[in-house]
C-alpha cells in the first residue's frame, strides 16, 4: 500500500525518490505512470501504480466498444502520456519528459508525492497545495459516501 506523503524535489536528471516503505510493500521494481486530470478545471498530476492496476483499468476501458468516441478519447489521452518504468538501484524513478511537461514539473522543482492506498500521485508542490486545500474542504461531505 502507498500510505503517507512526502515533500521532495526532482533532481537535475528528473528522478523522484520512491519511499522505501512503498518499494518494500509492493515487491516489484516496476511502476506504471499516467497523466491524471479527471476534470478540465483541475490541475494535472502524475498517477503512479503497479502495472497490474493499470492492466485492470485497461480491461475496463476495453469493455467499451471501439466505436465509443468517449472511450477512444480516454484511451488516446491516457496512453500517449503513459510510461512503464523500473526503479533504479537507489529506488528512484526517472520521470519521462512528456509527463513532466503536461503536469508542470521541471528538473529541480519541488514536488509532493502522495500515497492513495493502491496508487500514488506526483504533484507540482504549488498545484498540490491548492488541491489539498480543496480536498480538506470537501472531505466532510465526501467521507459520508463511504
Percentage of residues of the chain with pLDDT beyond 90: 79
The per-residue pLDDT for 97 is 95
Using an 8 Å Cβ cutoff, are 118 and 8 in contact?
no
How does residue 53 score in pLDDT terms, banded at 50, 70 and 90? very high
65-120 pLDDT, tens digit per residue, is: 989 999 999 899 889 989 999 999 999 999 999 999 999 999 999 999 999 999 99
The per-residue pLDDT for 28 is 73
The per-residue pLDDT for 23 is 82
The per-residue pLDDT for 15 is 97
CA torsion through residues 138, 114, 35, 100, sign:
positive
Percentage of residues of the chain with pLDDT beyond 70: 100
14-25 pLDDT, tens digit per residue, is: 999 999 888 877
Structural domains in the chain, CATH included, are: 5-145 (3.40.1550.20)
Amino acid at each position: 500500500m502507498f500510505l503517507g506523503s512526502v515533500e521532495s524535489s526532482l533532481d537535475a536528471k528528473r528522478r523522484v525518490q520512491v519511499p522505501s516503505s512503498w518499494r518494500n510493500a509492493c515487491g516489484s521494481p516496476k511502476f506504471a505512470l499516467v497523466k491524471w486530470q479527471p476534470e478540465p478545471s483541475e490541475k494535472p498530476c502524475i498517477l503512479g501504480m503497479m502495472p497490474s492496476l493499470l492492466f485492470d483499468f485497461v480491461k475496463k476501458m476495453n469493455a467499451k466498444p471501439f466505436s465509443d468516441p468517449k472511450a477512444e478519447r480516454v484511451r488516446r489521452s491516457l496512453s500517449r502520456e503513459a510510461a512503464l518504468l523500473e526503479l533504479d538501484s537507489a529506488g528512484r524513478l526517472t520521470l519521462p519528459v512528456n509527463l513532466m511537461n503536461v503536469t508542470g514539473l521541471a528538473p529541480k522543482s519541488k514536488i509532493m508525492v502522495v500515497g492513495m492506498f493502491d496508487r500514488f500521485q506526483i504533484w507540482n508542490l504549488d498545484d498540490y497545495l491548492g488541491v489539498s486545500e480543496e480536498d480538506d474542504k470537501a472531505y466532510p461531505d465526501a467521507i459520508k459516501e463511504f
